[in-house]
Amino acid sequence: MPKPRQLLSGRLALITGANRGIGLAIARALGREGCNLVITGRDTRALSKAGRELEKFGVSVLVQVCDVRDLHSVDCLFTLVRSLRKPLDFLINNAGVGHPNRRVSELPYPMWAEVIDTNLNGMFLVTQAALAVMKRGSTIVNNLSIAAERVFPGSAAYNASKHGALGFTNTLREELRPKGIRVIALMPGATDTAIWETLWPKAPRRKMMPAETVANVVVNALLVPENSAVENVVVMPTTGTL
Ligand SMILES: NC(=O)c1ccc[n+]([C@@H]2O[C@H](COP(=O)([O-])OP(=O)(O)OC[C@H]3O[C@@H](n4cnc5c(N)ncnc54)[C@H](OP(=O)(O)O)[C@@H]3O)[C@@H](O)[C@H]2O)c1
């Protein structure tokens, strides 16, 4: 095993939706670099398990149950973050859901609303709260998808949430540019996680990237010097779309 580089030692990251999947992989990759972590999700057991695992990197790991759709829940999360009395160096807006394949004519409104509420409104709520504890030199990573720039029939709510989140991300980047806070639009292609159980249960997993690939790309993007920024990250399986 190569010796860990610990290039983010003493920094602080908040990752939403980090009890599994891409969020947990990003938490691992940051922890490996010595970054202190606040991880969130709704499933308490999975979150505690992830927290115990991440402590092996010898970094501080705080776990906080948080539903990004809920303003009160997000308030509680940031009460915890503020209690650390340290600026937040990295916000990774990763929490997200998909929905089963349904044409617009058959898409139930509650399904539409849940996806928009989580992927778009949740990103707004967490980001707005985080800005109060972020300083020059910090970075926000918004985990979008290639569905932020192209569309997949049967996934209208997912496509719309990610297109909206890209518009939000691009606006945020310009607003934060004078403040020296970087904003990265992360647009992965198919990645082998639990989200596919909802999106397309029989999707060919062998064609997907492991979540670790996306996580390593994110950490490398965070490591570029503070006076430069990787603004858009598109990372795809070499096979392309499924
Ligand atoms: N997998 C892919 O192919 C792919 C490609 C491009 C982009 N993405 C994006 O990557 C992100 C992570 O997805 P994943 O693929 O890693 O799927 P995943 O394994 O299902 O992870 C989703 C994460 O989001 C959390 N989450 C969902 N709803 C939440 C809510 N209301 N409040 C707080 N946390 C919530 C989940 O935890 P709880 O359920 O416990 O809350 C879980 O930790 C999503 O934004 C997704 O759109 C995925």
CA–CA dist 31, 16 (Å, integer): 15
Q: How many helices (H) and strands (E) does the chain have?
A: 8, 7
Minimum-distance ligand 1 atom for the alpha carbon of 22: 16
Whose CA is closest to atom 47 on ligand 1?
Answer: 96
| pLDDT at residue 178, as a whole number | 97
Q: Is residue 242 part of a domain?
A: no
Q: Is residue 79 part of a domain?
A: yes
> Could you give phi then psi for residue 140, rounded to 5 degrees?
-110, 130
Q: Is residue 4 part of a domain?
A: no
**Does the beta carbon of 42 sit less than 6 angstroms from any atom of ligand 1?**
yes
| pLDDT at residue 108, as a whole number | 98
Distances (CA, A) of 4 to 32, 58, 68, 98, 120: 6, 12, 32, 34, 35
**pTM score:** 0.98
SS3 (DSSP) at 204 = coil
Q: For residue 83, report the distance from its CA to the centre of ligand 1, in Å.
A: 26
| pLDDT at residue 120, as a whole number | 98
List of E strands, the chain: 12-15, 36-41, 61-65, 90-93, 139-143, 182-188, 232-235
Q: Which domain holds residue 211?
A: 12-235
Minimum-distance ligand 1 atom for the alpha carbon of 19: 43
Q: Is residue 148 part of a domain?
A: yes
C-beta separation of 34 from 4 below 8 A: yes
Q: Is residue 78 part of a domain?
A: yes
Q: Is residue 197 part of a domain?
A: yes
Q: For residue 211, report the distance from its CA to the centre of ligand 1, in Å.
A: 11
**Does the beta carbon of 95 sit less than 6 angstroms from any atom of ligand 1?**
yes
**Does the beta carbon of 165 sit less than 6 angstroms from any atom of ligand 1?**
no
C-beta separation of 58 from 93 below 8 A: no
Assign residue 52 the CATH number of its domain.
Answer: 3.40.50.720
**Does the beta carbon of 31 sit less than 6 angstroms from any atom of ligand 1?**
no
Q: Give the Cβ contact number of residue 13 at 10 Å.
A: 26
- Torsion, CA 209, CA 215, CA 218, CA 219, rounded to 10: -140
pLDDT in tens, the chain (242 residues): 555 579 999 999 999 999 999 999 999 999 999 999 999 999 999 999 999 999 999 999 999 999 999 999 999 999 999 999 999 999 999 999 999 999 999 999 999 999 999 999 999 999 999 999 999 999 999 999 999 999 999 999 999 999 999 999 999 999 999 999 999 999 999 999 999 999 999 999 999 999 999 999 999 999 999 899 999 999 999 999 99
Q: Is residue 3 part of a domain?
A: no
Q: How many domains does the chain have?
A: 1
What letter does residue 101 receive in the DSSP assignment? -
Catalytic residues: 158
| pLDDT at residue 195, as a whole number | 98
Q: Is residue 6 part of a domain?
A: no
